[in-house]
A = this chain, B = another copy of it.
Amino acid sequence: MTKTTTGPGRPRRKDPDAVRQALIAAARDHFAQGSFKTVSVREIARAAGVNQAMVNYYFGDKRGLYEAMLEETIGPLIRVLEEAEARGEVARLEDLIPRHAAMLAANPWLPNLIIREVLYGESDFRNLFIEKFASRVAGALRRAIDGGRDKGELRDDLDPRFGTLILFSLTIYPFVARPIVERAMEIPIDDAFAGRWSEQILQLLAPSKPPPEDDD
């Protein structure tokens, strides 16, 4: 007779890697809502529908799961950015800003994850995030800003040292502080937000006056 009740033993093979993937997906969602320490292995395993010991079996320990989750979630995003940059698709601010905003809007777990682990010194994923992600985006923004200034597409009264920080603040904060934005300012962060917000940012950084028609 075939086994029907649940119990120990190797399962009658389904997709290998299914358990691994389920754990990573559950980990991503849970670590976006809570920190490394506050989210428990039991929680994640329950959400993934697997035994909690599977975490240690597949990833060694809780930290191993977190790192694997990072690689499989922000890894692809970084690669997309690198490729777009190599093809010159994000050299201009008009391309980079909407792209960045859309990416944040499409991956609501990302800003949570970043801010949480950057603020939290408890686990030392700080360096990983800063070096692998923040520095890369900052570099792309910096190059786009320098290019825009050289071509006169950017207002000239900006301290170049602060340009990147202005862009970072404007593009990231609304997504990070979403509850404040939606409730204290009553601005819904919906599908349309990323587009309108990008326009506003670009307008803020445009040259202070359009070239008059009668001169140059």
Contacts and interface: CB of A to CB of B under 8 A. Distances in A.
A208 interface: yes
A1 B165 CA distance: 66
A158 interface: yes
Interface string A24-42: 0000000001110110000
A169 interface: yes
Task: State how many copies of this chain the complex holds.
Answer: 2
Majority DSSP secondary structure for residues of A touching B: helix
A207 B119 CA distance: 36
A12 interface: no
A197 interface: yes
Interface of A: 33-35, 37-38, 112, 115-116, 118-122, 126, 130, 134-135, 138, 157-159, 161-162, 164-166, 168-170, 172-174, 176-177, 179-181, 183-185, 187, 196-197, 200, 203-204, 208-209
